[in-house]
């Protein structure tokens, strides 16, 4: 990340907002939880991904019924040997 590096003129690390609580935190190797301010915020965010509150936009994944339909279609289309 180019923006996260220290500049020669300014020797202070870049500060970013914690994605969970918004608190300003330094973006440095000393901050174990970056970009989060602490382990609590990191775990809250992880939990949101785990229960699918956070998700990346895109096509829905297939459910088991879709997979079964595709497998049945593949069986019908398979050449006999």
**Which residues fall in the annotated binding site for Zn(2+)?**
18, 21, 37, 41
Q: Does residue 27 contact residue 4 with C-beta atoms inside 8 Å? A: yes
User: Could you tell me how many residues make up the chain?
Assistant: 81
Annotated binding site: 18, 21, 37, 41
Q: Does residue 24 contact residue 15 with C-beta atoms inside 8 Å? A: yes
């Amino acid at each position: 990340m180019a923006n996260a590096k220290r500049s020669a003129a300014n020797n202070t690390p870049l500060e970013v907002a914690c994605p969970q609580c918004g608190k300003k935190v330094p973006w440095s190797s000393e901050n174990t939880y970056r970009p989060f301010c602490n382990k609590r915020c990191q775990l809250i965010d992880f939990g949101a991904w785990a229960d699918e509150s956070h998700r990346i936009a895109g096509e829905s994944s297939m459910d088991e019924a879709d997979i079964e339909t595709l497998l049945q279609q593949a069986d019908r289309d398979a050449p006999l040997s």
